[in-house]
A and B are shown apart, each in its own frame.
Chain A
Amino acid sequence: MASASASARPATHATPASTEPTGTQAKHAQPATTAPADRRDPERGAGRGGRAAGLTRWLWALPPVAVLALVFLYPLYLVVEQSFSPDEGGTSLAPYREVFASEAFREALWTTVWIAVCATIGCLVLGFVLALIIAFVPFPGGKAVAKFIDVFLSFPSFLITLALLFIYGTVGMANGVYTDVTGAASGPFDFLNTPWGVLLAEITYFTPFVMRPLLAAFSGIETAQLEVASSLGARPARIVRQVILPEALPALAAGGSLVLVMCLNEFGIVLFTGAKGVTTLPMLVYSEAILESDYPAACVVAVVNIAISVGLFGLYRALVARTGRGGEGALLKGARRAGA
């Protein structure tokens, strides 16, 4: 999601009216869109040649825009439209009033937010520590571990949950070892189908999404900086706090926002843990739409989910714009590497 919206952005810089692109425009513009503009004679820019070039550009842009609209925007529009269409017919806010009034929705919203926020915090802390070790503590196989992080990103989320079931499930390995050793009838591990199980699975699955941009950021820190800091009298903790952490902040923000959005929308992990009391917004959409065939209500929940995601992403972009310092680049790098 992040990479899609970000990579679409540069194309908008090249406007048909620009005769001589500025340095920034030239840097950002896609080659396909700038090529006609570059070839144009600047003196004739406002004349017939300029209009022809503008037309050519629109013709180039039309097919991808049409495809995007057909496969992405139109279904989205249908969802939004449905959310305003109660079963009784017509267009009204009734589905919203109904959904917002229901206890199940409020509970799902709260569950979604707290699990996503806690999972994000967990991923940030764990990811930072692990990336720090991989990047700065030389150990045999360190590079292999870093490469495995890339592979891990390609795994489906339910796979991790399944693996956790094998280990911590009621008849999993951990309980098996416990019952074998103590002779007890059942083991102590019975948390996978609670919110904590979902949290554990999400932290396990999403931590590499924080590590990837962090490792990229760490590789950009000069070893000389750490050495000079050390020679100036700084102990390792101070170096991490005052040299490494500030450098890694954009990457942390990038990874964190990515994980937060993904956690808010996560469906597979929650479904696979089989946690009975854990109903998140995507689960609510599923149960309203598939199990209860209440499409307007499902669409309302979906719209809320989208609004939260887009809102958070917009907030992040606003923060990056305020703080500057290449945070956006780190986000793009992180998102691209994360395959989002």
Chain B
Amino acid sequence: MSAHSAPAAPASGIRFERVTVAYGKRGESVALDALDLTVEPGEVMALLGPSGSGKTTALRAVAGFVRPASGRVFIGDRDVTALPPHRRGIGMVVQQYALFPHLRVAQNVAFGLKAQRVPRGEIAGRVTEALEMVGMADYARRYPRELSGGQQQRVAIARALAIRPGVLLLDEPLSALDAQLRSGMLAELARLHRELPDVSILYVTHDQVEALTLADRIAVMDRARLQDCGTPQDLYRRPRTEFTASFVGNANLLPVTVGGATPGSVRFADTELTVTGVDESGHGPAPGADATLCVRPHLVGLGEGENTLRGTIAEVQWRGSTHRLFVDVAGHRVKADVRELRETPALGQPVALHFAAHDAVLLPAGTAPQATVPAATQTPAPVATSAPVPAPAPGLAAAGVAKGVAPGAGGATDG
């Protein structure tokens, strides 16, 4: 690919310096609160968070569609905070494709090149090159309305790449596509990034699978603030906050009290549990303090083991290759993903669950703002309240799920 053979290499990398965006007459509604974040040249950074978390606002601040109330935005080494969008040299792809309906595919792709006054003789070649990159060269003469959603999104990506930007902004680019297309486009985007290693990509999404699949690093946002930032593996295996643990992947979060006797010893209800590597940093919760134990459902097994929890089956969901068990343990619901069981346990049946000490993480308590944790993440709730289980359909839950035959229950991103 010759996108990086352009005469002058476009500025790559993005830097937010305490960027605050506020709306309202007196700026009373803060959409982005003092964001500090750096996207390295060539890096794919996913901004992951629920609706209203500020992730799109951050992207729009880079594009120039919102003016920060304070702070500065850099593209490469250039301070672009006060620059109008058309002078920033970025490529942008949005959820609804936003193709120009009156222009053919090739004209859509050529739009940016003409706007940037690329010499006429060069335009045709670069349009073909961009369309070939996304496999749409055969559709150059079609109108957008003659294309499927996936094809339109490919054209939108080609249009953004044709101007050879140093920075590519992707705002929920796959949200409008169905699940199968989305998976294919994810692979396409990963391939494109391999072909364009110098382009920094800021990828806004609320879908953890997209973020985990594509991103070099993930910035987790909530309530206008950056909550956490790290590699997907880091955030998944060693989340630093309850919010990250519940939003990236789908963790069991159990309230525990840190024990004093042995390092890593915690107490959950009346059960003594062990978590390894708690005090590696020396900044772990002090003995006697409240904390949250985080363990992923797929790391919880049936039967007794290193850390054993006893409870009763509250819900069973069949997910093809696995069963998801919801077990009430001392008033808290624990999720366990186990390999498909030959016999589905009955509701109310007593069971033992276990997990390895090194699979659990201890988090400071109270780092999950309840108001913004999305329902799909299923934070543990007392059994007395309504069950937080995603029911497949009203009426089906009671019968189908109890028999362990409800297919496809729970979302694709449900951990």
By a beta-carbon cutoff of 8 Å, the part of chain A in contact with chain B is 222, 224-225, 227-235, 238, 242-243, 246-247, 325
Interface segment among B84-92, B220-228, B263-271, B301-309: the answer is B84-92
- Given A231-B63, A231-B92, are A247 and B102 also a contact pair (CB < 8 Å)? yes
CB-based contact B86/A228 at 8 Å: no
Interface segment among B109-117, B235-243, B402-410: the answer is B109-117
Per-residue CB contact flags for chain B residues 55-86 toward chain A (1 = under 8 Å, else 0) read 00000000111000000000000000000111
Which residues of chain B have C-beta atoms less than 8 A from A233's C-beta? 86-87, 89, 112, 115-116, 163
Identify which of residues 326-383 in chain B touch chain A, using a CB-to-CB cut-off of 8 Å: none
Q: How far is the CA of A243 from the CA of B101 in the complex (A)?
A: 9
Q: How far is the CA of A225 from the CA of B111 in the complex (A)?
A: 12
Instruction: Tell me whether chain A's interface is mostly helix, strand or loop, or mixed.
Output: helix
Which residues of chain A have C-beta atoms less than 8 A from B63's C-beta? 227, 231
CB-based contact B102/A234 at 8 Å: no
- Given A231-B63, A233-B89, are A224 and B112 also a contact pair (CB < 8 Å)? no
Select one of A224, A238, A246 contacting B98, CB under 8 A: A224
Which residues of chain A have C-beta atoms less than 8 A from B98's C-beta? 222, 224-225, 227-228
Q: How far is the CA of A126 from the CA of B95 in the complex (A)?
A: 34
Q: How far is the CA of A59 from the CA of B63 in the complex (A)?
A: 64
Select one of B90, B95, B102, B103 contacting A231, CB under 8 A: B90
Which of A222, A227, A228, A325: most chain B CB closer than 10 A?
Answer: A228
10 A-B contact pairs sorted by A residue (CB < 8 Å): A222-B96, A224-B95, A228-B156, A228-B160, A231-B169, A232-B91, A233-B115, A234-B86, A246-B100, A247-B102
B278 within 8 A of A: no
CB-based contact B102/A246 at 8 Å: yes
Which residues of chain B have C-beta atoms less than 8 A from A247's C-beta? 101-102
Which residues of chain B have C-beta atoms less than 8 A from A228's C-beta? 92, 94, 98, 156, 159-160
CB-based contact B96/A224 at 8 Å: yes
Q: How far is the CA of A23 from the CA of B102 in the complex (A)?
A: 26
CB-based contact A234/B111 at 8 Å: yes
Which residues of chain A have C-beta atoms less than 8 A from B88's C-beta? 231
Q: How far is the CA of A186 from the CA of B95 in the complex (A)?
A: 64
CB-CB nearest in chain A for B107: A242
By a beta-carbon cutoff of 8 Å, the part of chain B in contact with chain A is 63-65, 84-92, 94-96, 98-103, 111-112, 115-116, 156, 159-160, 163, 169
Q: How far is the CA of A241 from the CA of B275 in the complex (A)?
A: 64
CB-based contact B100/A227 at 8 Å: no
Which residues of chain B have C-beta atoms less than 8 A from A238's C-beta? 115
Q: How far is the CA of A243 from the CA of B87 in the complex (A)?
A: 18
Q: How far is the CA of A234 from the CA of B84 in the complex (A)?
A: 10
CB-based contact B96/A232 at 8 Å: no
Select one of A227, A242, A325 contacting B85, CB under 8 A: A227
Shortest Cβ distance from A155 into chain B, in angstroms? 34
Extra pairs beyond A234-B86, A247-B101 (11, CB < 8 Å): A227-B63, A227-B85, A227-B92, A228-B92, A228-B159, A231-B64, A231-B90, A232-B159, A233-B115, A233-B163, A234-B111
Shortest Cβ distance from A18 into chain B, in angstroms? 29
Which of A222, A232, A235: most chain B CB closer than 10 A?
Answer: A232
Shortest Cβ distance from A250 into chain B, in angstroms? 10
Which residues of chain A have C-beta atoms less than 8 A from B96's C-beta? 222, 224
Shortest Cβ distance from A272 into chain B, in angstroms? 41
Which residues of chain A have C-beta atoms less than 8 A from B85's C-beta? 227, 230-231
Select one of B86, B94, B160, B163 contacting A235, CB under 8 A: B86
Which residues of chain A have C-beta atoms less than 8 A from B102's C-beta? 246-247, 325
Select one of B89, B95, B111, B116 contacting A242, CB under 8 A: B111
- Given A224-B96, A225-B100, are A231 and B111 also a contact pair (CB < 8 Å)? no
Which residues of chain A have C-beta atoms less than 8 A from B99's C-beta? 225
Q: How far is the CA of A231 from the CA of B171 in the complex (A)?
A: 13
Q: How far is the CA of A224 from the CA of B159 in the complex (A)?
A: 14
Q: How far is the CA of A228 from the CA of B59 in the complex (A)?
A: 13
Q: How far is the CA of A242 from the CA of B111 in the complex (A)?
A: 9
CB-CB nearest in chain A for B112: A232
Q: How far is the CA of A224 from the CA of B59 in the complex (A)?
A: 13
- Given A227-B63, A227-B92, are A232 and B100 also a contact pair (CB < 8 Å)? no
Q: How far is the CA of A267 from the CA of B339 in the complex (A)?
A: 84
Q: How far is the CA of A311 from the CA of B61 in the complex (A)?
A: 53
- Given A222-B96, A234-B86, A235-B86, are A229 and B101 also a contact pair (CB < 8 Å)? no
Q: How far is the CA of A11 from the CA of B356 in the complex (A)?
A: 74
Which of A225, A229, A233: most chain B CB closer than 10 A?
Answer: A233
Shortest Cβ distance from B104 into chain A, in angstroms? 12
Select one of A232, A242, A246, A325 contacting B163, CB under 8 A: A232
Which residues of chain B have C-beta atoms less than 8 A from A222's C-beta? 96, 98
Shortest Cβ distance from A208 into chain B, in angstroms? 26
- Given A227-B63, A230-B86, A231-B91, are A243 and B100 also a contact pair (CB < 8 Å)? yes
* Minimum-distance CB pairs A-B, first 10: A232-B112, A224-B98, A234-B115, A233-B115, A230-B85, A231-B92, A246-B102, A233-B116, A225-B98, A228-B98
Q: How far is the CA of A247 from the CA of B101 in the complex (A)?
A: 8
Which residues of chain B have C-beta atoms less than 8 A from A243's C-beta? 100
CB-based contact A232/B101 at 8 Å: no
Q: How far is the CA of A233 from the CA of B112 in the complex (A)?
A: 6
Q: How far is the CA of A231 from the CA of B169 in the complex (A)?
A: 10
Which residues of chain B have C-beta atoms less than 8 A from A225's C-beta? 98-100
CB-based contact B111/A232 at 8 Å: yes
Shortest Cβ distance from A327 into chain B, in angstroms? 12
Shortest Cβ distance from B163 into chain A, in angstroms? 6
CB-based contact A224/B94 at 8 Å: yes
Shortest Cβ distance from B171 into chain A, in angstroms? 9
Shortest Cβ distance from A139 into chain B, in angstroms? 14
Q: How far is the CA of A230 from the CA of B116 in the complex (A)?
A: 11
Shortest Cβ distance from A225 into chain B, in angstroms? 5
CB-CB nearest in chain A for B88: A231
CB-based contact A229/B94 at 8 Å: no
Q: How far is the CA of A224 from the CA of B87 in the complex (A)?
A: 17
Shortest Cβ distance from B182 into chain A, in angstroms? 19
CB-CB nearest in chain B for A224: B98
Which residues of chain B have C-beta atoms less than 8 A from A231's C-beta? 63-64, 85-86, 88, 90-92, 169
Which residues of chain A have C-beta atoms less than 8 A from B87's C-beta? 233
Shortest Cβ distance from A32 into chain B, in angstroms? 33
Which residues of chain A have C-beta atoms less than 8 A from B64's C-beta? 230-231
